């Protein structure tokens, strides 16, 4: 399927995706540990993989194109010796998917190895500078300038490794999370700006990690330190001085008050277990995660409620799935709490800057807490003195450290690139705060818990029933989803799920909007999912009939069957919790469509779990 793309843009940066990195220093064979760790980060990037270890002052690098298990069959990573090293799973940005472009990247003299997540926005300028100094480049990546800059400062300016890394990173414009391994030193350096990086600490075994995300090393340790922007850590892994953390602009003073946090996620939560895919596992986990989302401290609920009620102007800000949860919540706030909420895509938030005051409240909603556009929106809000609240799933994420108050979603790790359980957790939490803002907290809890009683059956019925439907429809080129009121944002989210994982073009509309142009695309057999709630039944059925009259194949999701439906999926009525139940069958249909089309639902093409650069 071909396509024509017209792009008119003022380009600020060229990259929108992320990679996974992990470094290790300890007593075990580094390659064995790193292989297990990088597999746990494959959801962050999966078109190439590489590893470097150091043994007797020699660096050993192996890398290639493909998923980790495929590459390991030819590269045999575990043959690499040494107890210090780093690994990288790449999502291609600068430079195509080739072995040369895969990480790690080496300096010209082969003594410095770097793995990197982020973007060096001024890499062309730095590359030209280094070429004039006699350096050569083997790859098309922006990352390769980093090890060569480090070599430049070591050889040409006679700096030690620590100072050379600091000076190199100071010249970078853009974002980075890096792990640096040197042939000359028995320690590793980790640093970040704008991209996530967390240290893992296992004092008992005297081993230390630096990784993009906690699941990388969860089976080895649970104590972590979250690095902040422009911080650099040196990991020595010795009993007297295991690590030191500095600010990038001051390597003379060690930061002594970095808090060590304990991660309470279980190892099983980060594994597929009996399930064939993480997507399926995480869909089924919603029978638990919706409940755990609303198990919040009463003082925290009261604090957030007071902030919403006392604010002069409230903004809900998110990207993708989280944005759809915000749209849904804005309707409930309007109906239940009689309060207007502004809903803004994070990437467009700067257009509302003139309305931000000290009395404004910005609620930032995110699964990962690392999405660059959302972080930029929060920074904009804070620059104007706004109060900020994060609704987020990852403890210690950048978003939690930026915002004044954080509400954890308690969903456990979400590994699949697509958000499923985090979406329904966001819906539940935002519904809870709407009812709390109306002085009806217990009513809100009751509505959510009543909906939870049906989650298990809706999922089980859909898993069995929707596979044949997916087989029937998987060759379609288009899907349309329509809904009104609370079913409208569900249509938006459902369309996103279908196109994310099955690569079928899908669009969601408010029911009445379909006839304002898009109905011209309806042809015989084109699937249209009509999401029906009790309050909008007559109107949305009328819209569905308009589609059917033009040959569309109508799939109804609702409380009762109707003759307009060619196929019907029954979902119990749940009042303001309707969006929680209505999205479940569409998540499952999207899953089955991906399988029917021969795609891996955990690793959709051109996507990664969180967008860590603009």
In this predicted structure, what is the pLDDT of residue 444?
97
In this predicted structure, what is the pLDDT of residue 266?
64
Q: Is the pLDDT of residue 91 over 70?
A: no
Q: Would strands 478-483 and 527-531 be described as parallel, antiparallel, or unpaired?
A: parallel
Domains and CATH numbers, the chain: 20-263 (3.60.20.10)
Q: Is the pLDDT of residue 135 over 50?
A: yes
> What are the CA-CA distances from residue 221 to residues 87, 248, 265 (Å)?
18, 26, 11
3-state secondary structure of 499: helix
Mean pLDDT rounded to a whole number for the chain:
90
Closest CA to 529 of 591, 580, 586: 586
Highest mean pLDDT among 11-25, 33-47, 150-164 belongs to 150-164
Q: What are the tens digits of pLDDT across the range 545-559?
A: 888 888 889 999 999
- Strands lying side by side in the sheet with 387-392: 342-345, 314-318, 361-366, 387-392, 405-408
Q: What is the DSSP letter of 443?
A: H
Q: Which residue has the tokens 């039944």?
A: 537
In this predicted structure, what is the pLDDT of residue 391?
97
Q: Is the pLDDT of residue 614 over 80?
A: no
In this predicted structure, what is the pLDDT of residue 163?
95
SS3 content of the chain, % helix, strand, coil (to 5): 40, 20, 40
Distance CA 329, CA 426 (A): 9
Q: DSSP readout, 462-475?
A: HHHHHHHHHHHHTT
Quote the tokens at residue 379.
Answer: 């920074």
3-state secondary structure of 212: coil
Whether the bond into 104 is cis, omega within 30 of 0: yes
Q: What are the tens digits of pLDDT across the range 386-432?
A: 999 999 998 888 899 999 999 999 998 888 888 999 999 999 999 99
Q: Is the pLDDT of residue 224 over 60?
A: yes
In this predicted structure, what is the pLDDT of residue 4?
42
Which residues are annotated as catalytic? 19, 609
Rg over CA atoms, the chain? 25
Closest CA to 285 of 561, 28, 23, 584: 584
Number of helices followed by number of strands (H, E) in the chain: 16, 24
369 conformational bin, left if phi > 0, alpha if psi -120 to 50, beta if neither: left
Closest CA to 335 of 439, 440, 434: 434
In this predicted structure, what is the pLDDT of residue 231?
95
Distance CA 349, CA 22 (A): 33
Which residue would you say has higher pLDDT here, 311 or 267?
311
Q: Residue 256 — pLDDT band, cuts 50, 70, 90?
A: confident
Give the lowest-confidence range in 22-31, 163-172, 253-262.
Answer: 253-262
Tell me what the mean pLDDT of segment 207-220 comes to: 92
Q: Is the pLDDT of residue 511 over 50?
A: yes
In this predicted structure, what is the pLDDT of residue 479?
95
Q: What are the tens digits of pLDDT across the range 279-308?
A: 999 999 999 999 999 999 999 999 999 999
Tell me what the mean pLDDT of segment 97-104 comes to: 88
In this predicted structure, what is the pLDDT of residue 515?
77
Q: What are the tens digits of pLDDT across the range 462-510?
A: 998 999 999 999 999 999 999 999 999 999 999 999 999 999 999 999 9
Tell me what the mean pLDDT of segment 220-249 comes to: 90
Q: Is the pLDDT of residue 611 over 70?
A: no
Alpha helices in 438-552 (DSSP H): 441-473, 487-502, 537-548
> Residues near 12 by Cβ (< 8 Å), separated by ≥ 6?
614
Tell me what the mean pLDDT of segment 497-524 comes to: 87
Express as a percent the part of the chain with pLDDT over 70.
92
Give the lowest-confidence range in 251-255, 354-358, 610-614.
Answer: 610-614
Which residue would you say has higher pLDDT here, 13 or 547?
547
Q: Is the pLDDT of residue 606 over 90?
A: no
Q: Is the pLDDT of residue 93 over 70?
A: no
Q: Residue 274 — pLDDT band, cuts 50, 70, 90?
A: confident
Q: Is the pLDDT of residue 452 over 90?
A: yes
């Amino acid at each position: 399927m071909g396509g024509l793309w017209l792009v008119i843009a003022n380009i600020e940066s060229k990259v929108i995706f992320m990679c996974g990195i992990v470094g290790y220093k300890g007593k075990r064979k580094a390659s064995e540990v790193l292989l297990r760790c990088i597999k746990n980060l494959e959801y962050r990037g999966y078109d190439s993989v590489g590893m470097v270890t150091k043994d007797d002052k020699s660096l050993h690098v192996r890398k290639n194109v493909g998923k980790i298990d495929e590459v390991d069959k030819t590269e045999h990573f575990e043959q690499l010796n040494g107890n210090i090293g780093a690994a990288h799973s790449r999502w291609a940005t600068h430079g195509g998917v080739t072995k040369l472009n895969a990480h790690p990247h080496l300096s010209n003299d082969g003594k410095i190895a770097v793995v990197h997540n982020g973007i060096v926005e001024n890499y062309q300028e730095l590359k030209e500078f280094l070429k004039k100094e006699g350096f050569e480049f083997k790859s098309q990546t922006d990352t390769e300038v980093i090890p060569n800059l480090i070599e430049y400062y070591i050889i040409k300016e006679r700096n030690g490794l620590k100072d050379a890394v600091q000076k190199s990173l100071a010249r970078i414009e853009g974002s980075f999370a890096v792990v640096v391994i040197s042939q000359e030193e028995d320690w590793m350096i980790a640093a970040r700006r704008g991209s996530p990086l967390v240290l893992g600490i296992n004092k008992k075994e005297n081993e230390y990690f630096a990784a993009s995300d906690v699941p990388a090393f969860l089976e080895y340790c649970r104590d972590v330190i979250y690095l902040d922007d422009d911080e650099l850590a040196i990991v020595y892994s010795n009993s007297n001085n295991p690590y030191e953390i500095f600010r990038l602009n001051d390597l003379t003073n060690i930061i002594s008050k970095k808090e060590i946090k304990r991660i309470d996620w279980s190892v099983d939560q980060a594994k597929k277990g009996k399930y064939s895919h993480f997507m399926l596992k995480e869909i089924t986990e919603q029978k638990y995660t919706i409940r755990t989302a609303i198990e919040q401290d009463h003082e925290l609920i009261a604090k957030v409620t007071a902030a919403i009620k006392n604010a002069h102007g409230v903004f809900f800000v998110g990207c993708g799935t989280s944005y759809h949860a915000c749209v849904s919540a804005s309707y409930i706030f309007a109906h239940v709490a009689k309060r207007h909420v502004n809903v803004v895509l994070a990437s467009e938030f700067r257009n509302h800057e003139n309305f931000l005051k000290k009395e404004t409240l910005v609620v930032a909603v995110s699964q990962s807490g690392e999405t660059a556009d959302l972080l930029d929106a929060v920074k904009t809000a804070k620059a104007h003195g706004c109060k900020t609240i994060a609704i987020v799933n990852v403890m210690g994420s950048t978003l939690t450290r930026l915002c004044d108050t954080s509400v954890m979603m308690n969903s456990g790790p979400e590994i699949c690139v697509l958000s499923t359980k985090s979406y329904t957790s966001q819906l539940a939490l935002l519904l809870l705060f709407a009812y709390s803002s109306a002085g009806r907290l217990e009513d809100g809890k009751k509505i959510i818990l009543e909906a939870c009683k049906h989650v298990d059956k809706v999922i089980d019925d859909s898993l069995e029933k929707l596979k044949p439907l997916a087989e029937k429809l998987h060759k379609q080129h288009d899907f349309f989803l329509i809904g009104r009121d609370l079913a409208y944002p569900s249509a938006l989210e459902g369309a996103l799920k279908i196109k994310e994982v099955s690569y079928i073009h899908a669009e969601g509309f408010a029911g009445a909007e379909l006839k304002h142009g898009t109905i011209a695309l309806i042809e015989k057999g084109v699937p249209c999912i009509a999401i029906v709630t009790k309050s909008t039944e007559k109107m949305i059925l009328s819209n569905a009939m308009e589609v059917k009259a033009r040959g569309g194949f109508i799939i109804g999701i609702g409380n009762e069957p109707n003759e307009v439906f060619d196929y019907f999926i029954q979902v119990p009525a749940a009042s303001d919790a309707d969006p929680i139940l209505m999205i479940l069958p569409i998540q499952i249909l999207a899953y089955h469509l991906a399988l029917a089309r021969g795609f891996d639902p955990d690793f959709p093409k051109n996507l990664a779990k969180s967008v860590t650069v603009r």
